[in-house]
Amino acid sequence: MRDTFARYVEEDPRFDVRDVWVAEDVGGALASCVQIFPRKLAMHGKSVPTGGIGTVFTHPDRRGAGLARAALRAAMDDIQGRGMELGLLFAGPTGFYEPLGWRSWTVRRPLLRAPERAVAEPLAAAELFDPASDLAEVQELHASYSRVRDGLCARDSRDWWISLRNAGNPDEDFFVSRASGRVVAYVRAVCLARFLVFMEWGRAAESAAELAGLFAALLTPRPDDTLAPAGRPSQEFRRVASAAPLLDEALETELGRRDIDLAYSEDAGSMFWVANPRALAHRFGEPYRPRDVGELEPPAERDARLLGRILPPGRFAFWPSDRF
C-alpha cells in the first residue's frame, strides 16, 4: 500500500501539502492522517467543486483515541472554507463517518460471470491501448458515454494522463476495439483486493457489440496473466468481475448474447456530505432556507434531502479509475 499511496503524491501534479491533515504525537511522529482530493463532479451539465476524502489512516498503536476523527473534522472545515460544495468518500464500514454528517449514496453494482464454455472473443480480438495514437478518440468516447449519469469526475487532458499513471494497481488491462480504423469502444480493468474490476469503459452509439466483445475478452483466462494476483490462477481470476454501475441496456443485451451472467448488489460505500448547502442550492436553483431555531430535523438530514433532489442515488455513478 505504501507504493500505491506514493503514486498519489509523487506522480500527481495536483498534489498540494495543504490538502493533507495530520495528527502527531508529542515526539512529532505521525499518528493519523486524512487527505483532501479536490475534484469537479459533473452534474446536469454543471461542474460542482468537491472535496474527495481519502488516505484516512491511524497508526495501529494510536487507534481509539479519536485522532482520525479530529483530522477528518479539520479536513471538513477546510473543505467548507475553500468553497467546495460537496464532500465525497468511499468507505468500507460507514459508521465512522455517519455521526459527522456523511450519508451513503447506494448504487446497484453489477457483477459479471463468465460462461462455463470458452468465451467466443479471445484476447486476440482486442487491441492494446496506445496512448500516443488512441487517447484523443478514447477521450471522445469517455465524454459522450459518461453524459448519461451524474456525479462522475470531470476530466481534462491533464487529468487523463494522471489517470493513466495512477489508476492501475499497479497495472491495468486497457483494450480498444476499432471499426473503419477508428476506436469505437474501450475498457479498462484492474485487480483490486485480488478481484477483477472493470473500472471504466466507453463506446460509440452503435458499438455495444464491440464493447461487449472487449468485456468477454477480459473474462478470458490467459497463459501469462500479469494482472492475476499471486495464488489465483487466471482461470479462477477471470471467472468473475465487478463493474461500475454504468452498464447500459444495449450493452447488457450484448453481454447476454455471449452468455455472460449479470447480477446486481447494493453498495452503500459511496458517501456524500453537503459542505455548503446554500451554494449548492443556488447553483441548481433549489430552494434553501437556513435552519430555524428549535427545528428538530438534523442539518445533515435536511442537506441530504437537498442533494437527493439534485443527485438521486439512482443517477449517481463513479468510475473506479477516478478513485482516491
Instruction: Write out the chain's pLDDT in tens, 324 residues.
Output: 677 778 778 888 889 999 999 999 888 889 999 999 999 999 999 999 999 999 999 999 999 989 999 999 999 999 999 999 999 999 988 899 999 999 999 999 999 999 886 544 555 568 999 999 999 999 999 999 998 889 999 999 899 999 998 888 889 999 999 999 999 999 999 999 999 999 999 999 999 999 999 999 999 999 999 999 999 999 999 999 999 999 999 999 999 999 999 999 999 999 999 999 999 999 999 988 766 555 667 888 899 999 999 999 889 999 999 988
Q: Which domain holds residue 134?
A: 109-266
Question: Can you say whether the dihedral through the CA atoms of 186, 192, 196, 198 is positive or negative?
Answer: negative
Residue 153 belongs to a domain with what CATH number? Answer: 3.40.630.30
Structural domain total, the chain: 2
Considering the domain architecture, whether residues 117 and 87 belong to the same structural domain is answered as: no
Cβ atoms of 302 and 280 closer than 8 Å: no
Considering the domain architecture, whether residues 211 and 291 belong to the same structural domain is answered as: no
Considering the domain architecture, whether residues 24 and 80 belong to the same structural domain is answered as: yes
Cβ atoms of 322 and 146 closer than 8 Å: no
Q: Pull the grid cell for residue 315.
A: 443517477
Entry pTM: 0.91
Considering the domain architecture, whether residues 96 and 118 belong to the same structural domain is answered as: no
Considering the domain architecture, whether residues 10 and 116 belong to the same structural domain is answered as: no
Considering the domain architecture, whether residues 10 and 61 belong to the same structural domain is answered as: yes
Cα atoms found within 13 Å of the Cα of residue 119, Cβ hemisphere only: 26
Q: How many CB atoms lie within 10 A of CB 287?
A: 7
Considering the domain architecture, whether residues 55 and 185 belong to the same structural domain is answered as: no
Considering the domain architecture, whether residues 255 and 188 belong to the same structural domain is answered as: yes
Considering the domain architecture, whether residues 96 and 113 belong to the same structural domain is answered as: no
Considering the domain architecture, whether residues 26 and 114 belong to the same structural domain is answered as: no
